[in-house]
Chain A
Amino acid sequence: MIRALWMRFTDKIDPPLFATAFTLLVLGLVTLVSAAQDSPARISSQAVSILIALAVMWTVAQFPPQTMMRFAVPVYVFGLALLIAVAVFGDVVNGARRWLNLGIMRIQPSEIMKIAMPLMLAWYFDKHEATLRLREYFVASLLLLVPVMLIARQPDLGTALLVTAAGFYVIFLAGLSWKLLVGALLGACASLPFLWSLMHDYQRRRILTLLDPSSDPLGAGYHIIQSVIAVGSGGLAGKGWLRGTQAHLEFIPERSTDFVFAVFSEEFGLIGNCLLLLLYLLLIGRGLAIAANAPTFFARLLAGAVTLTFFTYAFVNMGMVSGILPVVGVPLPLISYGGTALVTLFFGIGILMSIHRHRKLVQT
């Protein structure tokens, strides 16, 4: 009886995906204990977030992809409306207009777009599956660019990047011809000077300091310099858990959130980094496999885009901390402290699980 209930409870859960994600969560908590020594409240708060995120994952996994398809348009429109609302009435925090105050809580609508974007585009391509022409790609690009511009204007470069990536993955997987792809890339390169002129000063500075961190060692370059020192000084085996000097003597900024990887890397060294890369590869590999075997065009596109978004998170964050990418506000998936990102990520994992478990149902 109990066994049956347990089976019922877990039948939508994909064991490999869950095991990998869970291991990452544990690693994240272990690192957080070290990174957030001066604010222990973060550990319990993160534990609560994990429970909520797991509940979200379980819930999402219960819904078949067709249900999600029905929600694609409303969620996208809702998200877009909120983004416009933010642009008009949003609260300014730290110089950026990202938050919408709903009275009881403040939400960050751009976060919704991380899921809503691939959902919408997958739905769109699925709908026009038989007649994919240039026009469809153009419309898809518009669907992508409008919210991205709104997010970038807040400004929130990290989220804009992730949403763009998610949308781009859908378009790419939908079969965007190589000619168009190369053309789009060239176009993007050509528009770089234009983008540069649109950027805020602090964004330009971030890019400049990436090229030469020592140009501003006490200002914008400080974060990069200190996090690279943390990573490098970790060496092969790391300084040991709780023994990272860069972390504990407060040389690393944002050490439990965006720069948590610097703490991890300092304390666990190259061996730890390899383990982390391996876990992410397993997670992404499993996600891509699910996408490859998904029954419908919608499901394939959605699963592929969600999985590759995971990759984007991981790559951008680790690249930023180790000093090869500019500083953009992208957390390390499943490791960084922060409930919002965790919920969004497990929402994605829930989608993957749902697609995997419902593949036979659809085919029949």
Chain B
Amino acid sequence: MRLTEFKDHQRELHYFQLRIGIAGVFVLAAFSLLLLRFVYLQIVQYDYYRTKAEDNRISIVPIIPNRGLILDRNGTVLARNYAAYTLEISPGKVNDLEQTINELGGVVEIRASDRARFKRLMIEAKGAISLPIRTRLTDEEVAKFAVNSYRFPGVDIQARLFRQYPLNDLASHVTGYIGRINDRDVVRIDKAGLTANYKGTDHIGKTGLEQSYEGELHGVTGYEQVEVDSAGRGVRTLSRTSPTPGNNLVLTLDIKLQQVAEQAFGDNRGALVAIEPATGGILAFVSKPGFDPNLFVDGIDPASWDELNTSEDRPMVNRALAGTYPPGSTFKPYMALAALELRKRTPQQTINDQGYYQFGGHRFRDDKPGGHGVVDMYKSIVQSCDTYYYILGNDLGIDNIARFIGQFGLGAKTGIDVEGEATGVLPSQEWKRKRFKNPEQQKWYPGETISVGIGQGYNAYTPLQMAQAIAAIANNGVMYRPHLVNYIESIGSGERDLVEPSIARSIKLKPENLEFIKRALEGVNIEGTGARAFANAEYTSAGKTGTAQVVAIKQNEKYDEKRVAERHRDHALFIAFAPLESPKIALAVVVENAGFGARAAAPIARQVLDFYLLGKQLAPPAIEGPGDESYD
């Protein structure tokens, strides 16, 4: 009995110890599982989790660089920055935007235009952390909001640098403007690999030099590595990399000259480009009407935007760069030069102008009823005889014209350092083949050459191209690439990166031919179509008037300015350079729908030249009714 009891006891103990053993194995297995998990997390996935922890801990706060300034050649500021307070809403932190804005309106003034702009920004700048509801708060408004700020979580006062264009619409097409970065900009920035550099940046150049020199003006964004806790509060700064401010642009533009030129246009629409022939540096770059670039900086309100975009005057189009116009009679000097260089004419050869040129059943009329009589090349330029160039055009043929005149850069992009340039049209057989799809239209008709001969027809050039071409004549065939920026100035080091004048093309021209053309152009301003505008000029000058048809005049129909709708009136053109012997300035003027070049465009050129060469500002010369010289 005792024995069995003992045996039982032993067996039972044994059995228990077996169970303890099983439990021990289970413990070991469970701990091995933990160990495996630790090895996985801490060895295999270590890099991943370390990065995660660092991302948790470190927040990169961008420090936005100051944008570079834009100055004219004499240091006048065209674009600068100033600090102002803005009231900004973080849409992500505000539940009811509408209500918040309404309540804010009780603290600081919020205009309807502010609301409209905010709404537009909400759409355009999706994902922005904070957007301005009010800009440029007064000190009083800042104080008022500060007292009430507890009522507005997600609304903050921010000190921001704002772009300012102190000259308002003066040279607005040159500077262009900056605006808030929108979705398209984000894509562009991303493609350019600049996303990191634009962290924290709200604005980007949209047009003009602001856009074209964005890379220079923006600067390099600095950043601060801040250790943050789980609530996002900064604990301490780990490192700081200072931003590099953007570079200043110093232009070749003379803002006083620009102002004289813009004022000379009065209420007229049009463009003027003035170039220093020996460098290609642009002295004046006018597109009228302009606009106030300041409107765009903190998001333009929709009313102003609509007004600018729907206006018939199309103030947002940079006419000097992207507007294309038939050159009209300003084309004639190039035609004459082509005739001389290609030996199709001598200066002495004459024609007898009856007032028209009959070709293939069409009568091409001269502007002067009854014609100019006996006309040699000099007279053809000075009096702007159409018949001479109808015949010459026919004799040269379209491809000769295109080949020769193409050398002056007409109908091709000049490569100026601002974006948005139009190509224009230098008509040729090849051009027509490419331009049209219909085989009937692709064919070049000889009659078309005749219109081209007087600068009409398919001819279409930008004022910039016209200015570059006349500058090439002034500079004896050496043509410089036009440029607006003289040098780029680094603010930190003061280093200046000069834009070296670069020769676009050296056109081989016989000196005697060039001399003849220059003399003829001088004649225009002394005894020809430009004589009235250049009466009593204290310097020698070369010029050529032009009038470009906007609407084709039917055969045998007399153009009557008064009967034609204002928008369909002819464009007035003038090209010039001065002084004759050593030209300091060459220019092209287009005045839209202003009629004869001699009457509307030449006086503008005169004022610009007077100011640039003599430093004087003349009252606009009185314009009389059409006289003899206004035929061109």
Which residues of A are found within 8 Å of B48, using beta-carbon distances?
A: 232
Which residues of B are found within 8 Å of A233, using beta-carbon distances?
A: 46, 49-50, 52-53
Q: Are A173 and B52 in contact (CB under 8 A)?
A: no
Q: Are B43 and A250 in contact (CB under 8 A)?
A: no
Q: Are A281 and B27 in contact (CB under 8 A)?
A: yes
A324 with B15, Cβ < 8 A, contacts A231-B42, A270-B43, A288-B24 known: no
Which chain B residues (11-62) contact chain A, with CB distance < 8 Å? 12, 15-17, 19-20, 23-24, 27-28, 30-31, 33-35, 37-39, 41-43, 45-46, 48-50, 52-54, 56-57
A322 with B231, Cβ < 8 A, contacts A274-B35, A304-B23 known: no
Q: Are B45 and A249 in contact (CB under 8 A)?
A: no
Q: Are A249 and B56 in contact (CB under 8 A)?
A: yes
Classify the interface of chain B: helix, strand, loop or mixed. Answer: helix
Which of the candidate stretches A59-67, A71-79, A311-319 sits at the interface with the other chain? A311-319
B227 interface contact, C-beta 8 A: yes
B509 interface contact, C-beta 8 A: no
A236 with B43, Cβ < 8 A, contacts A251-B56, A277-B31, A277-B35 known: yes
Q: Are B19 and A173 in contact (CB under 8 A)?
A: yes
A285 with B42, Cβ < 8 A, contacts A172-B19, A318-B34 known: no
Q: Are B230 and A229 in contact (CB under 8 A)?
A: no
Q: Are A173 and B53 in contact (CB under 8 A)?
A: no
Q: Are B227 and A249 in contact (CB under 8 A)?
A: yes
Centre residue among B37, B38, B228, B231 by max chain A CB count within 10 A: B38
Nearest residue (CB) in A for B49 is A232
Q: In the complex, what distance in Å separates the CA atom of A323 from the CA atom of B42?
A: 13
Q: Are A322 and B38 in contact (CB under 8 A)?
A: yes
* Chain A 233-244 interface 0/1 with B at a Cβ cutoff of 8 Å (1 = within): 111100000000
B507 interface contact, C-beta 8 A: no
Q: In the complex, what distance in Å separates the CA atom of A292 from the CA atom of B48?
A: 45
- Contacting residue for B50 out of A235, A285, A324, CB 8 A: A235
Nearest residue (CB) in A for B235 is A249
B566 interface contact, C-beta 8 A: no
Q: In the complex, what distance in Å separates the CA atom of A313 from the CA atom of B54?
A: 31
B141 interface contact, C-beta 8 A: no
Chain A interfacial residues counted at CB < 8 A: 44
Q: In the complex, what distance in Å separates the CA atom of A234 from the CA atom of B38?
A: 10
Which residues of A are found within 8 Å of B35, using beta-carbon distances?
A: 273-274, 277
Q: Are A230 and B230 in contact (CB under 8 A)?
A: no
Q: In the complex, what distance in Å separates the CA atom of A356 from the CA atom of B17?
A: 16
Q: Are B20 and A291 in contact (CB under 8 A)?
A: yes
Q: Are A235 and B46 in contact (CB under 8 A)?
A: yes
A245 interface contact, C-beta 8 A: yes
Q: Are A249 and B23 in contact (CB under 8 A)?
A: no
* Chain B 530-550 interface 0/1 with A at a Cβ cutoff of 8 Å (1 = within): 000000000000000000000
B229 interface contact, C-beta 8 A: yes
Q: Are B53 and A246 in contact (CB under 8 A)?
A: yes
A235 with B43, Cβ < 8 A, contacts A246-B53, A281-B27 known: yes
Which residues of B are found within 8 Å of A346, using beta-carbon distances?
A: none
Nearest residue (CB) in B for A324 is B37
* Chain A 273-295 interface 0/1 with B at a Cβ cutoff of 8 Å (1 = within): 11001001100110010011000
Q: Are A315 and B228 in contact (CB under 8 A)?
A: no
Q: Are A249 and B230 in contact (CB under 8 A)?
A: yes
Nearest residue (CB) in A for B37 is A322
Which chain A residues (123-163) contact chain B, with CB distance < 8 Å? none
Q: In the complex, what distance in Å separates the CA atom of A285 from the CA atom of B532?
A: 117
Q: Separation in Å of the A133 CB from the closest CB of chain B? A: 15
Which chain A residues (307-347) contact chain B, with CB distance < 8 Å? 308, 311, 315, 318-319, 322-324
Centre residue among B27, B37, B43, B50 by max chain A CB count within 10 A: B27
A300 interface contact, C-beta 8 A: yes
Which residues of B are found within 8 Å of A291, using beta-carbon distances?
A: 20
Q: Are A322 and B50 in contact (CB under 8 A)?
A: no
Q: Separation in Å of the B228 CB from the closest CB of chain A? A: 7
A232 with B30, Cβ < 8 A, contacts A249-B229, A250-B230, A291-B20 known: no
Nearest residue (CB) in A for B34 is A318
A175 interface contact, C-beta 8 A: yes
Q: In the complex, what distance in Å separates the CA atom of A228 from the CA atom of B40?
A: 11
Centre residue among B15, B30, B41, B227 by max chain A CB count within 10 A: B41
Q: In the complex, what distance in Å separates the CA atom of A273 from the CA atom of B31?
A: 11
Q: Separation in Å of the A122 CB from the closest CB of chain B? A: 12
Which residues of B are found within 8 Å of A99, using beta-carbon distances?
A: none
A249 with B228, Cβ < 8 A, contacts A231-B38, A231-B41, A315-B31 known: yes
Which residues of A are found within 8 Å of B16, using beta-carbon distances?
A: 173, 175, 292, 297, 300, 304
Q: In the complex, what distance in Å separates the CA atom of A88 from the CA atom of B227?
A: 49
Q: Are A229 and B56 in contact (CB under 8 A)?
A: yes
Nearest residue (CB) in A for B15 is A175
Which residues of A are found within 8 Å of B34, using beta-carbon distances?
A: 277, 315, 318-319, 322, 324
Q: Separation in Å of the B262 CB from the closest CB of chain A? A: 58
Interface residues of A (CB under 8 A from B): 169, 172-173, 175, 226, 228-236, 245-246, 249-251, 265-266, 269-270, 273-274, 277, 280-281, 284-285, 288, 291-292, 297, 300, 304, 308, 311, 315, 318-319, 322-324
Q: Can you add 9 more A-B contacts, CB < 8 Å, to A284-B27, A292-B16, A319-B37?
A: A173-B20, A229-B53, A231-B49, A233-B49, A235-B42, A236-B43, A269-B42, A285-B24, A308-B23
A-B contact pairs, 7 of them (CB 8 A): A173-B19, A226-B230, A249-B228, A249-B229, A250-B231, A270-B38, A324-B37
Interface residues of B (CB under 8 A from A): 12, 15-17, 19-20, 23-24, 27-28, 30-31, 33-35, 37-39, 41-43, 45-46, 48-50, 52-54, 56-57, 227-231, 235
- Name the 3 nearest CB pairs between A and B, nearest first: A232-B49, A233-B53, A232-B41
